[in-house]
Structure 1
Amino acid sequence: MTSAAVPEYPWLLPGSLSVEQAPAGRRARRTTRDWIVDTLCFLGSVGWVLLVTADAQRAAPEFAVALPERWMIPADAALGLVTSVLLWWRRRWPVALAVATLPLTFFSMAASIALVIIYFTVVVHRPWPVAMLLTGAGLVTNLVFARLRPDPTLSYWETVVLGVIISAAVLAWGMFVRARRQLVVSLRERAERAEAEQQLRVTQARQLERNRIAREMHDVLAHRISLLSLHAGALEFRPDASPEEVGRAAGVIRSSAHAALRDLREVIGVLRAENSLGGRPERPQPTLDELPALVEESRAVGVRVGLDDRLVEAGRVPEAVGRGVYRIVQEGLTNARKHAPGTAVTVTLAGGPGKGLSVEVRNPWPVGGTARGRIPGTGTGLVGIGERVSLAGGRLEHGRDDTGDFRLAAWLPWPAS
């Protein structure tokens, strides 16, 4: 599809390639406006030929000095008509026609309008050096024309000056039209580029939002599914459990499954929405206040979790920072359940306004081989947490430390005000 900012035949633009350099097999087709303009130019030129010829035929005897030989009048009219016909090809070969008809500028009066139109076409559609060369050539022929076809009411130099004024006016008009067309093309291209960039920004914003929601749901679903796996594993390895224990585990499995399905349904609805461009994810929106509930949820499935809260003015923790801490602890507890089942987990929070907030999740390295029924992991949880911390301007560390424990630690900025 041809861009609206660039005509179908770009070599017709000011300063563009010549028709000889146009793509093979393509010819310049006139638009409706071009047909109207070319028709008016042709009719105007023919009308001028008829007017000049009739005026020469009936000229008074006192103006005989300004007239050529009588046989030259029909010859000049014929040349004028031929030049008028050539106007139909002026868009395709403006320079070639201007050079071919340049000798007529020495003497022809009937072809003068057609010659001016061809010269104007060169100025509008070709680079200015070409236009200036033809202008210089026209000024030279103007000196000869004023001698061969003198005006009985003007002196020689007055006739020359008049010809220079006409050439300068046509040149200025053509340069103005050329500049205006280039400006219109530039504005159209700029508008299309701005529209394309805006669409790209919208697409990128939508994609970033969806990626952020996907990271949120990875954290949520990994947490809930790990709870489901722990309870299902307990039922599998405790066939002698009492009916009360079985019922309690089944209730936790059912509630966790329902919660996971609800979160999954909500995020799929958001991802399907084309206008989901809000600044924050739609669901869920945990805060630091919900961290104790997260810890209790893990304790309810048998995980030994210790929470050491050393925060100063915890109520002033920014919402974004609190959400980041919640996700970091959630990922740490999920990893502990997956990779180190049965170990004790310690969660430590420290910091205050202006000092930043430090969060650490620590658990002993599992002893022995991989436990049977171990929950599989994708390995993307820590990657997502790293991206979250990096976007918040913080730091993240994870891995086995000198004591042999696995340590997940992060520092997030906490402004003083």
Structure 2
Amino acid sequence: MRRWLVEAALAGTALALGSFFLATTLNEGDGWPIGVELVAGTVAITALIRYRRSRPVALALVLVVLGLLFGLPMGATPIALFGVALYRTAAVAVAVTAVHAVSLATVYLIALGPTRIYWEATTFLVLLHVILVGIGMLVRSQRRLVRSWAERAREAEQGDELRVEQARLAERERIAREMHDVLAHRISLLAVHAGALEVRRDAPRSEREAAGVIRQSAYEALEELRQVIGMLREPAEDRPQPTLDDVPALIAQSREAGERVELRLAADGVPAGVGRHAYRVVQEALTNARKHAPGAHVRVAVTGHAEQGLVVEVGNPLRAGGSGLPGSGTGLVGLRERVQLAGGRLDHGPTATGEFQLRAWLPWTP
């Protein structure tokens, strides 16, 4: 709406100035018939509205010629010169203004001769155009200054955001290091005690086997902890990530720890990224089952194809109580966020048959 108001105001100004120049020409008994003047004025004002932003130099040169031949188009000429000063460099604006001044002075000298009217008319028109061009150059400089201030403010804001993000990353790394120091010490003690129990000759064979599983799990926990800490320092592409092919090994580890897990894997050619998400879904589901339904029979099914997508389903009977293992309560929240970021869906909760079921759908995206 504002643009249309500006265009209307410019057209009205050009028409008013052109009418003044046309009336002056008619009073002196010169000029073209009024019909020709109206056609020339309409063409000049239409071109001014349409091309003053996109082609200001070409428009100004055309209107200079029309303004020297006709009276009504003279009103659009100063506005066209103002547009040159507004949308082009100062050198271009000065050059076009100089061409117009020289042309105007030459044509008027030929038509009027070195009379008083010639000097008055030439001085008035040249000063009018020079003043408008100067105003246009000032407006252009002011706009560039405002844009430079806005750019500096934006860069300063981005610098503040970058510093805040760097501070967050540094704090996360510090917390992760502290976590590594504490957990590594505790897990190492667990592995040492489990190893001692494993080599005791007077311990039953089942206890020694369980101690071996604990020692191996503690060792793997230490390795995974080191990998998590390494995520803060290394690009993710440099670290090997689990895929769907690693799910059977994950199930085997759970079985060695005493869980009863049934696996049905019916998906081939799964992209590595999708398989990694599926692995994490199964891993978190088995952890929850071990915490909240120890000893329950867990069913894991991973099925799908390229047209359907990948579906991961994990179910186990609901049981009162749990294993007593500590938990943050945010595992499923983080898992839902992971699945949603991958473009999938995650549903979980008790069913009517007295089971807890977790179902994740992942798009088959390479």
Q: TM-score normalised to the size of structure 1?
A: 0.47
Deviation, structure 1 residue 282: 5.7
Distance 1:168 1:351, change over 3 A: closer
d(CA) in 2 for partners of 1:327, 1:394: 14
**Does the alignment pair 1:302 with 2:258?**
yes
Equivalent in the alignment of 2:248: 292
Q: Is the 8 A contact 1:263 1:283 kept in 2?
A: no
Matches within 5 A, 1:133-172: 155=116, 158-159=119-120, 161-162=122-123, 165-166=126-127, 168-172=129-133
Distance 1:198 1:293, change over 3 A: farther
Matches within 5 A, 1:18-417: 155=116, 158-159=119-120, 161-162=122-123, 165-166=126-127, 168-187=129-148, 189-190=150-151, 193=154, 196=157, 242-271=203-232, 273=233, 278=235, 280=236, 283=239, 285-311=241-267, 314=268, 316-367=269-320, 370-371=321-322, 374-414=324-364
Task: Report the structure number with the largest CA radius of gyration.
Answer: 1
Q: Is the 8 A contact 2:213 2:256 kept in 1?
A: no
d(CA) in 2 for partners of 1:391, 1:205: 23
d(CA) in 2 for partners of 1:333, 1:197: 43
d(CA) in 2 for partners of 1:342, 1:172: 88
Q: Is the 8 A contact 2:244 2:278 kept in 1?
A: yes
Q: Is the 8 A contact 1:288 1:326 kept in 2?
A: yes
Higher helix share: 2
Query: How many residues of Structure 1 are paired with residues of Structure 2 in the alignment?
Result: 235
Q: Is the 8 A contact 1:359 1:411 kept in 2?
A: yes
Q: Is the 8 A contact 1:304 1:344 kept in 2?
A: yes
Q: Is the 8 A contact 1:267 1:283 kept in 2?
A: no
The one-letter amino acid of 2:285's match is G
Deviation, structure 1 residue 392: 2.1
d(CA) in 2 for partners of 1:330, 1:407: 14
Q: Is the 8 A contact 1:307 1:348 kept in 2?
A: yes
Distance 1:347 1:269, change over 3 A: closer
Structure 2 regions of 5+ residues with no counterpart? Answer: 1-113
- 1:396 alignment partner, SS class: strand
Would you identify which runs of 4 or more consecutive aligned residues in structure 1 move more than 6 Å? 201-208
- 1:308 alignment partner, SS class: strand
The one-letter amino acid of 2:281's match is I
Q: TM-score normalised to the size of structure 2?
A: 0.53
Q: Is the 8 A contact 2:339 2:346 kept in 1?
A: yes
The one-letter amino acid of 1:262's match is E
Equivalent in the alignment of 1:138: none
- 1:294 alignment partner, SS class: helix
The one-letter amino acid of 1:186's match is R
Structure 1 regions of 5+ residues with no counterpart? Answer: 1-152, 236-240
Deviation, structure 1 residue 193: 2.7
Q: Which moved more, 1:249-258 or 1:187-196?
A: 187-196
Q: Percent of aligned positions with the same letter in both sequences?
A: 44
Q: Is the 8 A contact 2:310 2:363 kept in 1?
A: yes
Aligned-pair RMSD on alpha carbons?
A: 4.3
Deviation, structure 1 residue 246: 4.0
Higher relative contact order (CA 8 A, sep 6+): 1
- 2:324 alignment partner, SS class: coil
Q: Is the 8 A contact 1:325 1:359 kept in 2?
A: yes
Q: Is the 8 A contact 2:291 2:324 kept in 1?
A: yes
Distance 1:262 1:309, change over 3 A: closer
d(CA) in 1 for partners of 2:363, 2:165: 27
Deviation, structure 1 residue 260: 2.2
Deviation, structure 1 residue 165: 3.2
CA offset digits 1:146-187 (Å, max 9, x no partner): xxxxxxx98487357536634642442243133124224314
CA offset digits 1:260-305 (Å, max 9, x no partner): 233323323432x4xx6x5x47656110010010000011111111
Q: Is the 8 A contact 1:286 1:323 kept in 2?
A: yes
Distance 1:360 1:256, change over 3 A: same
